[in-house]
Amino acid sequence: MTDAIAQDAANQDSTAQATDTLALLNAGKLAGAKYINIQAGLTQFPQALYSLTDTLEVLDLTGNALTDLPDDLTRFKRLRILFCSSNQFKHLPEVLGACTQLSMIGFKANRIQYVAESSIPTANLRWLILTDNQLEHLPNALGDCAQLQKLMLAGNRLSTLPDSMRACHALELLRIAANRFEALPEWLLDLPSLTWLAYAGNPCSDTTEQARMAEQPMTHIDWASLQLGHVLGQGASGVTYQAQWQHAASLQPVAVKLFKSGVTSDGLPSSEMHASMLIGEHPNLTGAKGVVQRHPQDTCGLVMSLLAPDLQILANPPSFETCSRDVYPQTTSLTEVEALHILRGVAEALRHLHQCGLMHGDVYAHNILWSPQRVVLSDLGAASFLPDHQPALASKLKQLDIKAFQILLQELAEQVAMPVAQLRQQLDMRGLSP
């Protein structure tokens, strides 16, 4: 987000706490707004929005009951970002293809079965979210999206990607977990910018995952033995609580992650739980003590070690503007020693994951917790199981994690105002590169 849009969003959020956004629109009290968020059980596009055709840049209609968008959505000349997740769309509206300024589109958790060629605004699209729908095919027009950087497709019925996507040279992050891929497209790992990939929960991965879990069975922890405390953090996939675990005649402090649904933005909760159990205990990873059993609502949950409170998140997730790059707070101040300490911890975490037959798939600064004493690479939601009997493919997949590590190295070099080559040399001198 630009600062202006971010401030407008903040103002809108605070106003919405006191009254209804739609009522404010109807009363003409949101003139000039750049950001609008309406969650009011809508079944039709609000006519009051047309008062903002000259200013609206971000429109969030998530959590309504919409099935289509108006043919004259093109009147919103400045509309760049549109969210319509958790509605009742069965197709991606074709009018979107004519909204040439759109750079980010989110239609997660609808009932979308069909995406027409004409539905894709190819000129400026950078980020497309179609997670948790019913798609079996994608349009060839995706291959014309020269600026496409992030494509979220987990939880559909896809068995292939359009061959035209060979031309998506800007694509950096791809989520195709929990689909029906018998094999990864042969051209996929040759995409020059691809760095973050999640593909667990497909037939091409299931056999390996099942074999690994047969060797490392789940430890089950009864829900009744857990006492939840305050929320430690919340993300797209779930909520993590501080908790007490009644175990071996004593109470142990733990963290409990409860998943929000059967499909996350990255894939399946079961794959994240399997990966967490498989890695065991490691000082640079969160790992897991077990999975929740007999939750009253059958919610999936993961019981993990409670991390020290002095661990801090290295950076914030990507913004609308940065798309695929984390946002470091302006207050971030690192020394060369601290940067090397962080890189050392992440390198050791990746080395252990790869030795366990896993790729992380989401090596980002916002998934790194650190203090002067410890570095932890967290969040295995995008972790995927490396193929046992295809060493060349496994090597290519591990290279994606290493590419993400190199991006992290570049970012930290910027933070310490140090040439990348010099920081890399210092790291290599210690034999730490993954």
List CB contacts of 2: < 8 A, sequence separation 6 or more: 321
List CB contacts of 253: < 8 A, sequence separation 6 or more: 242, 243, 244, 245, 306
**Residue with tokens 């093109």, as numbered in its chain:** 74
Q: How far is CA 251 from the centre of its chain?
A: 33
CB 353 within 8 A of CB 285: yes
Between the alpha carbon of residue 243 and those of residues 225, 305, 368, the distances in Å are 10, 10, 22
Token code pair at residue 158: 């896809």
Strands 104-106 and 81-83, by their bridges, are parallel
CA–CA dist 110, 178 (Å, integer): 16
**Residue-level pLDDT, tens digit, the chain, 434 residues:** 444 444 444 444 433 433 489 999 999 999 999 999 999 999 999 999 999 999 999 999 999 999 999 999 999 999 999 999 999 999 999 999 999 999 999 999 999 999 999 999 999 999 999 999 999 999 999 999 999 999 999 999 999 999 999 999 999 999 999 999 999 999 999 999 999 999 999 999 998 888 888 887 789 999 999 999 999 988 778 899 999 999 888 999 999 999 987 888 999 999 999 999 999 889 999 989 999 999 999 999 999 999 999 999 999 999 999 999 999 999 889 999 999 999 999 999 999 999 999 999 999 999 999 999 999 999 999 999 999 889 999 999 999 999 999 999 999 999 999 999 999 998 876 655 66
Token code pair at residue 200: 């667990």
Contacts 24+ apart (CB under 8 A), 78-82: 78/34, 78/54, 80/104, 80/124, 80/320, 81/57, 81/105, 81/320, 82/58, 82/106
pTM of the model: 0.92
Domains and CATH numbers, the chain: 3-205 (3.80.10.10), 216-223+234-240+257-305 (no CATH), 312-429 (1.10.510.10)
